[in-house]
Structure 1
Amino acid sequence: MSESANQDHFLKRTIEEDIAGGRWGAPGDRSVVRTRFPPEPNGFLHIGHAKSICLNFGLAEQFGGSCNLRFDDTNPVKEDKLFVESIVRDVRWLGFRWPGASESDPMEGVRFASDYFQLMHDCAVDLIKKGLAYVDDQTPEQIREGRGAPGVPGTNSPFRDRPIEESLELFEKMVAGEFPEGSRVLRAKIDMASPNFNMRDPVMYRIVKMAHHRTGDAWRVYPMYDWAHGLEDSVEGITHSICTLEFEDHRPLYDWFIKSINEGRSEPLHHPQQIEFARLNLGYTVMSKRKLKQLVDEKRVEGWDDPRMPTIAGYRRRGYTPESVRSFCRDIGVSRFNSLIDPGRLENACREHLNAVAPRRMAVLKPLKVVIENFPEGETRHIEAVNNPEDASAGVRKVPFTRELYIERDDFMEDPPKKFFRLGPGREVRLRYACLLTCIEAVKDASGEVVELRCTYDPETWGGKNPPDGRKVKGTLHWVSAVHGIKAEVRNYDRLFSIEDPNHTPKGAPETWSFLDAINPDSLEVISGAVLEPALAQDPASSNEPAWPDGIRRVQFERHGYYCIDSASTPERPVWNRTVSLKDSWAKIAQKG
């Protein structure tokens, strides 16, 4: 995938300088670049992770190096095999592969922090022997209080200077499971007066008596992220450990751990370089795992893959393509400054890609019946319709035309205003690909609602020809045969939140306000009576549609937007999800203020 090749940013320049200077190998050797994507398997990936995935894998590819997929599975309390499998699926869906990846076995080549638990233990023992780590018997509350405050030094633990042999013995008893959870921890001995809180004797290990999804009951202590992170990178030969900005203050600790381990070693561990970049903050959404979990748990959405969720699974189910997500990540670039990105940029990336590749189909979402009085009863004519005006190789399809059709209810007005160019009594419109149509009567039910239009067509305009007399017709409507059309449920999805930044309380909001109060009540419209052209009930291969690698069928419903078949759809009950509208309606709302 060469999509990142033309990107220029500070990370790329840093790597180029390292290569030129021979920091990781022979000067000029670009293949030495090693990056990694290290998610914790405690939830589903979201669009913010997609930026990190594209960045790490993209840089490795650009320089001819490699990028590992490694799980930071150091907390068995929150982790699950389900999340491991979903993350692997998401990374593969985005189009990336890691060293050793296999198409037959998705897990092949995937790495885990738990692969290195023994090494982490041995290095911890080494630090204890060097007098650089100790077992602390204080409670979590006492440790927290002892860390001090900004500008106020912390207080040394009363166990900070306990004998090395005693700490060694206690640590092995911790490992053996002889102490209860929360009773002891292993801490690094650094500087309780450091202005950087991360350096105030951070915890390296805590006791957790829970089975691990890979190692089972083999361990009763588990490493903290800061202790594990650098060692994992070191073992894997990572050259550039790329993190988001919140880890900038953790970098001194990352370096301290590796330098301390290497002190006195005849064969020093590899010491990677940690570099930070600004994470993706997307408008009109939340990406906190806690908040996303709350949305799911409280059933504000239908699950982690609800098409309104910012998870990669949600975007996939909504019909976004991997190409459009990668294009968006490339478009927003890389910097060291946090900013709020307009989701319209992601939507536009999706529109641009689907416009080029998605076949066009006609779908009437809110049908109004039309009877063409001068068209023969029982006759079906097939009209050629273009599959994709952006791609001539997509060819054409046959669409059935009958005496009875459906048009959109919104395409008729009984008393239309001057600039309404669609159908009304005595008005003429063009039926796409077919002919000119004139309304002669609106039939109403007992309540006065229009339920049927009686019309006539102009035979001389059949097949989309212009009328011989040269009259101009401005409106063009899509339609579906009432005889051949298929019934479907259509779900029109929109942004889940109605304000740009639901993570912050709006000015003037009550004290009880929460992000849940910003949920958009119109984020989902379910239309149960839509009618689609019959090609959408056929095998996509027989309809000359693209062979989507992820198996998700995507089309443009003409005049409506881009749609995809839902994962819960069945032939008996087809369900289509709106991926994105044809135009950015939110941009107009923003302009109005």
Structure 2
Amino acid sequence: MSTSERSEEGASNFIREMIAADVEGGKWGGRVHTRFPPEPNGYLHIGHAKAICIDFGMAAEFGGKCNLRFDDTNPIAEEVEYVDAIRRDIEWLGFTWDNEFFASDYFERMYECAVHLIREGKAYVDSQTLEQIREGRGNFYKPGVDSPFRTRSVDENLDLFARMRAGEFEAGEHVLRAKIDMQHGNLNMRDPLLYRILKQTHHRTGDAWNIYPMYDYAHPLEDAIEDITHSLCSLEFQDHRPLYDWVVENCPVEGQPEQTEFARLNLGYTLMSKRKLLQLVNEGHVDGWDDPRMPSLSGMRRRGIPPEAIVRFCERIGVSKRDGIVDISLFEHAIRERLNEVAPRYMGVLNPLELVIENYPEDEDEEFDAPLHPEDAAYGTRKLPFGRVIYVERDDFRMQAPRKWHRLAPGKEVRLRYACLVTCNEVVTDESGEVVQLRCTWDPESRGGTSPDGRKVRGTLHWVSAKHALSAEVRLYDRLFTKENPQEGDADFRDNLNPDARRVVQGCKLEPALASVEVGAGFQLERIGYFCVDPDSAEGEPVLNRTITLRDSWAKLEKKLSKGG
């Protein structure tokens, strides 16, 4: 989707209006430079997609630039695997960054800025324990208390800080704090931590550093060093903005970025915490970050969700200043909408029931032409092989047909899509009474599925030729949680995991044209849903992931439950 398409589809929002006013007024010389700053401690999820669309989208819309910057200031949780995954996900969404940076690119510069603050009497080394520091900071009702080490001399602070860097001390012995105001109404301004001792190998700098900057100190410096204009971040950082401004104003950096906050994306039936998603991975509730049940972008890609649907959804929900939960049905609508536009159509039977056409020659086959897309002739057609024995969906047959049943039942005539009309004459069951075969007759004059004499045949079924069918494993995916807010109140989010979020069906039958569909490619199985080919597939043994059903089955269920049904 192009930038213009994104802009036209999405309503105006306060960030777009703010940037437009800045450009028109010549602020920063009319320049727009944003950044997307993920921490490489996990995979990106759908919540990050909103930030990506805003950061990259605003830069593109106003002819500016957007940096990809990895905030790698915590080596305990960060890995190269996550860096590579983040790059893949951003590119998959259709965005390209102008520059790539790491917070670790600036470690020396950040250290120099900290030394500058110490020399200016605006930072000091505190030797209290973290628990003492936390207690001394107070709370909303209780003012902070000065650290007993707050009055250390500049020379002593410089010496201790240099020795912290050299590795003379262990974690927790000392920290570097800003000297601001322990009586400040904003707790973030009560002498916040700037550096802590952390003897941990970094994925880029190795063991070169024994101290690492805190995020609230590093982030504004990174923005200023890169000469960012609009530092767009989620609402949780609103109370951190005074500290952001303080760092920029008091450190020797030329850039003057401004932070603006927007409401993060909270999607129903979903988690937006990387820590909790990692917990699901580590505890084996899912099979990894790319499990199709996960809200991670890699999981969505494996599930077959089109990136255009994600971008379209993020633009439609807009940008606000208040947090709230977005109805997941809006996201699912965007997925169905995009797949309906681009997904080629095929046929498959998930729970096959054999159907024998008794008056069709035993040794003959024929082919019917079927469109790959009913609304776009440019997709072309595919050949559907047909023979005496076919498979139909078991759920399309009833021994005792209910009222208004338009599918198969004894004595009923139905249309086999693109093929012909058949009538069920006999039902074969096994010793337990299970239906194992339907014996039918066809009307040879109905080739192509037309009624030769104009008679009305209301039921149309999908089918697959038994002789030519591909056998497949199909994984039916659904929402990860059973509750819209899986962690509401004191609930353990794991207690609300949906046990039916994945159901695996073996022995499914597919039309042979699906043998040529590539891994990751999406398509519709007519009358069933949208699917894609999973990387677990082997030659001649496809594995399909259901991306989404054709209709919102949850809406029907919730409507029924609301009526006490």
TM-score between the two structures when normalised by the length of structure 2: 0.97
Shift, 1:366, TM fit: 0.2
Match of 1:35 in 2: 34
- Report the CA distance between 1:591 and its aligned residue: 2.5
In the alignment, what sits opposite 2:550? 582
- The answer as to 2:3 corresponding to 1:4 is no
Equivalent residue number for residue 529 of structure 2: 561
TM-fit CA distance, 1:250: 0.4
Whole-angstrom distance in 2 between the partners of 1:187 and 1:128: 9
User: Aligned pair in 2 of structure 1 residues 333, 397: CA closer, same or farther (>3 Å)?
Assistant: same
Pick aligned residue for 2:125 from 125, 135, 157: 135
Verify the 8 A CA contact 2:515 2:540 in the aligned structure 1. Answer: no
**Structure 1 residue aligned with 2:235, among 235, 245, 253?**
245
Q: Secondary structure at the match of 1:351?
A: helix
Letter in 1 for 2:457: V
Aligned to 1:496: 480
Quote the offset at 1:573 in angstroms. 2.7
Match of 1:79?
Answer: 78
The aligned residue for residue 378 of structure 1 is 363
* Conservation of the 8 A alpha-carbon contact between 2:470 and 2:541: no
Q: Does the CA-based 8 Å contact 1:151-1:195 persist in structure 2?
A: no
The residue that corresponds to 2:468 in the other structure is: 484
CA RMSD of aligned residues (A): 1.1
Kindly indicate whether the alpha-carbon contact (under 8 Å) linking 2:193 and 2:214 is maintained by their aligned counterparts in 1.
yes
State whether structure 2 residue 316 is matched by structure 1 residue 309: no
**Aligned twin of 2:306:** 321
Deviation per residue, 1:217-263 (Å, 9 max, x gap): 1111100001100110011111000010010000000001111125x
**Are 1:46 and 2:45 an aligned pair?**
yes
**5+ long unaligned stretches in structure 2:** none
Q: Is contact 2:470-2:540 (8 Å) kept?
A: no
**In the alignment, is the contact (CA less than 8 A) between 1:383 and 1:433 conserved in 2?**
yes
1:50 counterpart letter in structure 2: A
What is the identity, as a one-letter code, of the residue corresponding to 1:478?
A: H
Aligned pairs (5 A) from 1:399-438: 399-438=384-423
| Cross-structure match for 1:117 | 107
Contact 1:438/1:456 (<8 A) preserved = yes
The amino acid across from 2:7 in the alignment is A
The one of 186, 205, 214 aligned to 1:196: 186
**1:590 CA drift (Å):** 2.7
- The share of aligned pairs that are identical, in percent, is 59
Q: Answer yes or no: is the 8 Å Cα contact 2:412–2:424 preserved in 1.
A: yes
Deviation string, structure 1 residues 190-229 (Cα, Å, up to 9, x no partner): 0001110100000000011111100111111100001100
Amino acid across the alignment from 1:136? D
Dislocated runs of 4+, deviation >6 Å: none
SS of 2:316's equivalent in the other structure is helix
Structure 2 partner of 1:398: 383
1:230-309 to structure 2, matched below 5 A, reads 230-262=220-252, 269-309=254-294
SS in structure 2 at match of 1:237: coil
Give the conservation status (yes or no) of the 8 Å contact 2:349–2:463. Answer: yes
- Secondary structure at the aligned position of 2:251 is classed as helix
| Alignment check: 8 A CA contact 1:489 1:575 kept | yes
1:15 matched to which residue of 2?
A: 19
Contact persistence 2:229–2:257 (CA under 8 A): yes
Q: Distance in 2 between matches of 1:191 and 1:572?
A: 69
How far does residue 355 in structure 1 lie from its aligned partner after superposition?
0.6
Amino acid at match of 2:18: T
Q: What amino acid is the match of 2:250?
A: S
1:455 aligns with 2:440: yes
> Which residue identity is paired with 1:177?
G
The Cα shift of 1:539 comes to 5.3
Distance 1:572 1:477 in 2: 25
Q: Secondary structure at the match of 2:259?
A: strand
**Does the aligned pair in 1 maintain the 2:227–2:254 contact within 8 Å?**
no
Q: Secondary structure at the match of 1:499?
A: coil
Shift of 1:523: 1.2
Rounded Cα–Cα distance in structure 2 between residues aligned with 1:577 and 1:94: 20
1:334 is displaced (CA, Å) by 0.4
- Partner of 1:448, secondary structure, is coil
What amino acid sits opposite 1:291 in the alignment? Answer: K
**1:471 alignment counterpart:** 455
Question: 1:407 aligns to what SS in structure 2?
Answer: strand
Q: Matched residue of 1:209: which SS? A: coil
The answer as to 2:171 corresponding to 1:181 is yes
Which runs of no fewer than 5 residues in structure 1 stay unpaired? 100-108, 263-267, 506-510, 541-550
Distance 1:590 1:22 in 2: 52
Q: Given the alignment, which residue of 341, 350, 365 partners 1:356?
A: 341
Paired positions, count = 557
Residue 322 of structure 1: how far off its partner (Å) = 0.8
CA distance in 1, matches of 2:146, 2:6: 49
Please say if residues 425 and 441 of structure 2, whose CA atoms lie closer than 8 Å, have aligned partners that are also in contact: yes
**How far does residue 4 in structure 1 lie from its aligned partner after superposition?**
2.7
Aligned residue identity for 1:520: N
**Alignment pair present for 1:538 and 2:523:** no
Q: Which moved more, 1:476-485 or 1:388-397?
A: 388-397
CA shift for structure 1 position 96: 0.5
* CA contact 1:283–1:501 (8 Å) conserved in 2: yes
Partner SS for 1:4:
helix
Task: Give CA-to-partner distance per residue, 1:326-382, whole Å, 9 cap, x none.
Answer: 011011110001111111111111111111111100000000000000001121100
Which deviations, in whole Å up to 9, do the C-alpha atoms of 1:84-119 show, x marking residues without a partner? 1111111111111011xxxxxxxxx42100000111
Report the secondary structure of 1:110's partner residue: strand
For 2:174 and 2:540, the matched residues in 1 are separated by 60
